[in-house]
Structure formats: C-alpha cells, structure tokens
Amino acid sequence: MNSSTATPNSLPARPRPESRQAYRAWRVITTRWMDNDQYGHINNVVYYSWFDTVVNNHLIERGALDPARSSVIGLVVETQCHYFAPLAFPQVVEAGLRVAHMGTSSVRYKVGLFAQGAPESAAHGHFVHVYVNRAANRPVPLPAELRRALEELQ
C-alpha cells in the first residue's frame, strides 16, 4: 500500500524523509537567530515561509514572475509539511524543489528541506498555486514562460 492509499480499517502509511535525488533545483537558506522558537529549533511557521521563498525565487530567476508587474500571479490554495528531524540556527539549510503536478492553471510544488549535506530531508511538503489574472483574480492558463520554467522542475 502506498502513502496515498488506505483501506477502510487502516491509516495511510506514515510519510518518510526523501532523498536529494527527488529534487531538480536547489537553493541555500541561511537560518537566522529569530527563526528558532523557545524549544531551540526552527519554528514550524518558518518552514512555510521557506517554501514560499524557494518557489518564488526560482520563478523570478527564470523570468517567469515579476512580483510587482506580472499580469498572472500564483495564489496559495494548499500547503502541507511533514517534519522528520529538527533544524536550528545556525544551521545552513539546503532546499530542493520539484514540480509534482502541473495542470491548466495550477501547480503542485514539492519542497524538501535538508540540513547542509544531509542525504535525507529533515522536512518536506507541498505548496499548490492556482495562477490567476492579477486584475480579475480569476484562474487562467499557465503562461508559456511560466510553463517552460516549470517543465524543467518535472
């Protein structure tokens, strides 16, 4: 049984860390003093901020997004994270990115967060954008330049 399948009397399989080979693009994240919570590790809300940063920086670097002027923008409609090992300041984090699914107007990104040099993810999750016309706030097909930037992540 895979992690997305469950029988009526069972729970889905517990998510497991992923390997670096599962990801297509990488970004280094420098943790900050303020990222740690009172328990001495990175607060869970920071992981979601990193997901957002990794996805949008990739799109900006590929010329597929201009946050101030693009007529088509991505709105987050779903996000999830599974945690496996703590990360803490002053660690360096390496974030892997891939596209798990590309639809007509939506994209499901997968992001893996790794302690520097670690073979398996300390956390991984997904992030779904629905792309909309900025002015009308209605879904639109993915523009060609965005689709090209996403195809290299599949």
- Residue-wise pLDDT for 81-97, tens only, equals 999 999 999 999 999 99
- Domains delineated in the chain: 21-151 (3.10.129.10)
- Confirm if 150 and 89 have CB atoms less than 8 A apart: no
Q: What is the mean pLDDT of residues 135-147?
A: 97
- Confirm if 124 and 111 have CB atoms less than 8 A apart: yes
Residue whose C-alpha is closest to residue 52's, from 104, 129, 122: 129
Predicted structure pTM score: 0.90
What does the pLDDT read at residue 1?
A: 45
pLDDT 10s digits, 15-69: 999 999 999 999 999 999 999 999 999 999 999 999 999 999 999 999 999 999 9
Cα→Cα distances 74→32, 83, 90, Å: 27, 25, 31
